[in-house]
Amino acid sequence: MLPRLPYRIQIPMGLVLAVILSVLLVSVVAAQISARSARLEIVSTVQRIVDLLVAQGKPLLAQDDTWRAFTLLRNTAALLPQTGKGQSRAALLDAQGRFLAGSDPLRLPTGEQALGVLINGRLLPTTSDAARPINLTTPDGGMTLVEPIRSDDNQVIGFVFAEVDAAVFAPDWAALSTPALIGAALAIIVLVPLGWLLGRRMARPIAQTADCIAQIGRTDPVQLQLLLPQLQDPELDRIAGAVRQLLIETSAAKANEKRALSAERLAAVGRITAAVAHEINNPLAGLITATRTLRLHGDAPDTRDRSLDLIERGLQQIRTMTTALLPQAKVEDRCLTPDDMQDILTLARATAVQHAVAISSELVQQFELCVPSTVFRQVMLNLLLNAIKAAGQAGQVHASLSADAHKVNMVILNTGRHLSDDRLQRRLTTDDGNDPNGFGLWICHEFAVRYGGGFTAALAGDIPRPFTTRLSFWLPNLTHHDPQKTAVD
């Protein structure tokens, strides 16, 4: 969990942990030393008290004065360690080793045998063994002292008994740890804010570097390099250096990308120019045909007027198409008429004748064809020419224009290879500027998107025989929604 925390928290916490660990270690070592010296001190104290009792108890034993022996022991035992907690006690024993009196009469009962029997779980020496001073250490660390009291003529008239439980010798953890804890607390009080400041100071360049890394891709790498901190720490400087190198490489990559994009744009412009030339070429072919017709049959008024109209609409189509290629251009247009469809069929027939393709058409007009005529003419011509090419030699192409209240729909069916909707969509999204057919389809798609219509291919199962491909282009019929509106883009 600690590594997940920020440095300004990690560092003070680490310092605090270090202090606590030090306190624990020092306390343990101090406890060992203290316990050792405390035991020596306790043993010395008990021995001095025993010596005092030997001197003071002598006349009391001689007089068999239990009460005064008790008062002596009660007062003297107060000098023994932890007497108040019942962890040490003393007694005077008579010559037979019985308690004359004890500082704790309930544990050292007057008149009971003491020497040679178990007292508080400890087997005391017999009266004969206790003729010399005896210091017993119990397995748990407790201590029992028995010292004889002798008369002036060296006769044993009684004994002093002193007992200290092991608990007295145990380290006083509370006393030992209190100063250490106070020291630790003071250290923590100082170290926590200091560590926080150090952590913040340490983390600041890292945070700056991290911020720079986070902004890569969103901010100019050159500006980001200026935000990178200048560090003296070699490890942090390596990180900052790596980031700096990354930014340099990113700058270079970005510049290369710009250059590539620029080249790509230039290429795209070239492709568009080629496509535009291709698209203009179609109506130009029609215009040339109309011109020839005019030259050959211009004397006939109908033929002359029809050819001139054809020439005018062809030129208008060229103008509209070039305008449509400029996304921001505003082009005023009229609504589509059934004559427009006838124009397109006339324009396409020459190509159809070349490929021996049979063209049939159909007009189902329930409502006005209120869609931009130039756009729709361009689309119809594109689709028709593409269908003728796709149908191949001796193929069939059928064009159907219908209008209902909501939309004006152009359907082109052709024989030849099937073009599925998936394939159509892939072709529309494929960046293949060298495919003139693809570009024509793309233009249709762009018109559909721009004018809120649609451009789809039907499933093979939904196409009537003998046709294999059915493309549908439609735009919203503006008549129904806004009768006053002209087909103005």
Partner 1 sequence: MQRRTLLEFGVSWSLLQTSAQAQDRQRAAPLRIGLTAVILADQAAFLTRWSDYLGSRMGVAVVFVARESYQNILDLLLTDQLDAAWICGYPFVLHQSRLQLLATPLFNNRPFYQSYLIGQQGKQGLLSGWSNLRNQVLAYSDPLSNSGWLVAQAQLRAVGLTPRDLRRSFFAHGHRNVAEAVASGLAQAGCIDGYVWETMQLQKMAAVEQTVVLWRSDWYAFPPMVAKRNDNNPALWALGEALQSMTKDEQGASLLRALNLTGFAKPDAALFEPIKALAASVNMIRA
Distance of closest approach, residue 99 Cβ to partner 1, in angstroms: 9
Shortest Cβ distance from residue 134 to partner 1 (Å)?
A: 25
Question: In this structure, what DSSP letter does residue 141 have?
Answer: S
CB of 93 to partner 1, least distance (A): 13
Of 116 and 392, nearer to partner 1 (C-beta) is 116
Query: Please, which residue, 87 or 177, has the CB nearer to partner 1?
Result: 87
Given the complex with partner 1, which of 109 and 183 has the nearer CB atom? 109
Tell me how far, at minimum, the Cβ of 90 lies from partner 1, in Å.
14
Q: What are phi and psi of 267, to 5 degrees?
A: -65, -40
Token representation of residue 341: 């469809």
Structure tokens that stand for 218 in this block: 């969103």
**Residues pairing with 163 in the sheet:** 89, 144
Distance of closest approach, residue 75 Cβ to partner 1, in angstroms? 13
Residues belonging to the chain: 489
67, burial (CB in 10 Å: exposed 0-12, middle 13-18, buried 19+): exposed
For residues 374 and 443, is the Cβ–Cβ distance under 8 A?
no
Instruction: Please state, in angstroms and rounded to a whole number, the distance separating the CA atoms of residues 450 and 444.
Output: 10
CB of 92 or CB of 443, closer to partner 1: 92
Query: CB of 108: closest distance to partner 1 in angstroms?
Result: 9
Closest CB to partner 1 among residues 103, 374: 103
Closest CA to 61 of 189, 178, 150: 150
Cβ nearer to partner 1, comparing 105 with 183: 105
**188 with 16: CB under 8 angstroms?**
yes
Q: Please, which residue, 14 or 105, has the CB nearer to partner 1? A: 105
Nearer to partner 1, 109 or 476 (CB): 109
Handedness of CA 286, 291, 293, 298 (dihedral sign): positive
For residue 98, the minimal CB distance to partner 1 (Å) is 8
Closest CA relative to residue 72, chosen from 52, 87, 86, 88: 52
Cα separations (Å) of 353 from 27, 289, 349, 397? 109, 13, 6, 12
Query: At closest approach, how far in Å is the CB of 60 from partner 1?
Result: 11
Q: Using CB under 8 A, list all residues that contact partner 1.
A: 64-68, 70, 74, 101, 105-106, 109-112
**DSSP one-letter code for 229:** P
Number of separate helices (H) and strands (E) present in the chain: 12, 12
Helix (H, G, I), strand (E, B) or coil at 201: helix
| Least distance CB 160 / partner 1 (angstroms) | 17
CB of 100 or CB of 390, closer to partner 1:
100
Candidates 489, 446, 487; CA nearest to 337 is 487
Residue placing its CB nearer to partner 1 in the complex, 41 or 112? 112
**Is residue 73 a contact partner of residue 53, using CB atoms and an 8 Å limit?**
yes
Kindly state the helix (H) or strand (E) to which residue 295 belongs, with its residue range. helix 234-297
Q: How far is the CB of 111 from partner 1 (least distance, A)?
A: 4
In the numeric block, which tokens belong to residue 440? 């024509």
